[in-house]
Copies of this chain bind each other. A is one copy, B any other.
């Protein structure tokens, strides 16, 4: 049964992209994961239009990837900030995949523009793809995507 016989949108890749696959969501998540948590900081750092940022934060919060947390600096009224939440914390693996690819193929001669480290021990981090037989698949893995139990035929 060819891949084309199955519904494109049911695939987990498509579903995940529908959630965070626009031009800004992953950058917002990157910044939040890096400690940029407040609206104005995000808007300033990302260069995103404020209405778009507002809409993205709402969507990501509604989806449970971010949480709004109240905080209060001294002498200022209570405000709130955004933090990674629940499943959102696992999205950093996707960010790491983008970072790794970009470092390998888009970095200039000066080297990678950002480094990803293990927060606990400070060592650089790397992503490996391996199969349940224990083979390491390397950077250019030979893979096959096939319909799984939750697949649906194309409408």
A128 on interface, CB distance cutoff 8 Å = yes
Q: Of A4, A35, A46, A154, which is in contact with the most chain B CB atoms at under 10 Å from its CB? A: A4
Q: With both chains docked as a complex, state the minimum distance between the C-beta of A87 and any C-beta of chain B, in angstroms.
A: 4
Q: With both chains docked as a complex, state the minimum distance between the C-beta of A152 and any C-beta of chain B, in angstroms.
A: 7
Q: Is the CB of B13 within 8 A of A112?
A: no
CB-nearest residue of chain B relative to A46? B8
Q: Is the interface of A mostly helix, strand, loop or mixed?
A: mixed
Contacts of A51 in B (CB 8 A): none
CB-nearest residue of chain B relative to A35? B3
Which positions in A face B, CB cutoff 8 Å? 2-4, 6, 8-17, 19, 21-23, 26-27, 30-31, 33-36, 41, 44-47, 87, 89-108, 110-133, 135, 137, 139-152, 154
8 contacts across the A-B interface (CB closer than 8 A) = A3-B34, A3-B36, A3-B45, A13-B95, A17-B27, A21-B22, A113-B152, A125-B131
